[in-house]
Each structure stands twice: as C-alpha cells, then as structure tokens.
Amino acid sequence: MKSITYACALVCLLTAALSAQNDKTAEKTSYGMKAGTVMGSAGFGGMHFSGSSGLHPAIVGGADIGIHKYMAVFVDGGYSHAGNSASACVYGYCLSAGVSDHFYSVGGGFEVVGTNRSRFVPYGRIGAAYASIAEHARVGGNLVAGHYNTTGSAPAVLAGGGLRTYISRHIGIDAKVTMLRTVGNYGGGTAIAPTVGVFFQTK
C-alpha cells in the first residue's frame, strides 16, 4: 500500500513539474507584454492637421511599462513641422511671405496589448495629452517687412493603435496611428499621425 502511495505521490510531483514547465515554455514563446516589461520606441512619418492639406513630417517617441500581459501604461510625445511660403511682384514692388508651424504634443494613458504566440501583436491606446503649436510668420518686401510669432496650447484626448512585428523577443518594428483631438476653450482641432519605427523591450 505504501509503495502505491509513494508512486501516486511521485506521479503527482512529475505532473506538477511538467505543468509548470509547460507554463514557462508558453510564457517564453509568447510575444507582447509581461508584468514589468519596459519598452522604448521611436519612429517617423506624417501628421495631418484639420484645416490643412496633406501630411507634414513628424517624429514620435515614447515608453511603455507592462502591468499585465494584456495591459500597459504609456507616455508618448511627438513633433511636426509645416511651412508655407509665397512671393509676388507687381510694377517693381515685391512682397514675400512665409509661415512656419511647429506642433508639439506629450501625453499618456492606458494600452491594451494582444499578447500572443505569433510575432504580430496588435494594440490599442486611450489617454490624454497636451498639445502646443508655435507659429512664425515672416513678411518681406520693398515697402513692408516684419516677423510675427504666436503660440497656442490646449489639452487633448489621445487615441490610437497599431501593430508590433517582432524581429526577436526584444526588438521589432512598430507601425501605428495616433489621433489627438484638442478640447476646451482653444480646442476643436484634430491631428492624425501615421508613423512607423522601431521598439526595444526588456522582457
């Protein structure tokens, strides 16, 4: 009877050990987030502003910290530049004008991550941001010349998502779309930025 009891105990121990090993193997073969994962990313692309046409050059960067395999917190920042210029001459009188806009944003929030066993991991984001734009206008000509500067800032709602493609367990390509919608007294503007870049993570 004792031998049967010892055998059953041994089988139970082996089963538990194999189960734990399988859990570790499954965890090792998954791509995405884990509790305590720290990730940094940087990318470039374009940004479209409401009231303007086309995409303007943009760079983005940020960091993520995993709080669960399917959840993380993030901080994000971006910069974009837009410029327009024109000139004309009439009867020997010439005038040129140029406008340069510099857009900055910084924000953060929560991220839902589709951690799985493939190398393709989708994610979605929601949060809040602070957006600022600095505009520099220049006017020059035979009769008038000058420089004018204006700035404006507003809080914004941040949303977006993307797809991370893992090259290895710690490095990959991040393609995402970020949208900002300013709110408040100076709100009402929208900025949408499709970007692609790289990311690095600790585990």
User: Dihedral, CA atoms, 40, 42, 46, 47, nearest 10 degrees?
Assistant: 40
- Which pLDDT band holds residue 92 (cuts at 50, 70, 90)? low
pLDDT in tens, 33-81: 999 999 999 999 999 888 777 888 999 999 999 999 999 999 999 999 8
Q: How far is CA 198 from CA 68, 131, 147, 166, in A?
A: 22, 24, 39, 10
Mean pLDDT value of segment 17-22: 43
C-alpha 87/C-alpha 145 separation (Å) is: 13
| Per-residue model confidence (pLDDT) at position 66 | 96
Which residues partner with 140 through β-bridges?
96
CATH 2.40.160.20 fits 31-201, yes or no: yes
89 pLDDT tier (thresholds 50, 70, 90): low
Whole-model pTM: value is: 0.75
pLDDT at 185 > cutoff 70? yes
Bridge partners of residue 61, in order along the sequence = 42, 77
101, 133 Cβ separation under 8 angstroms: yes
* pLDDT value at 141 more than 60: no
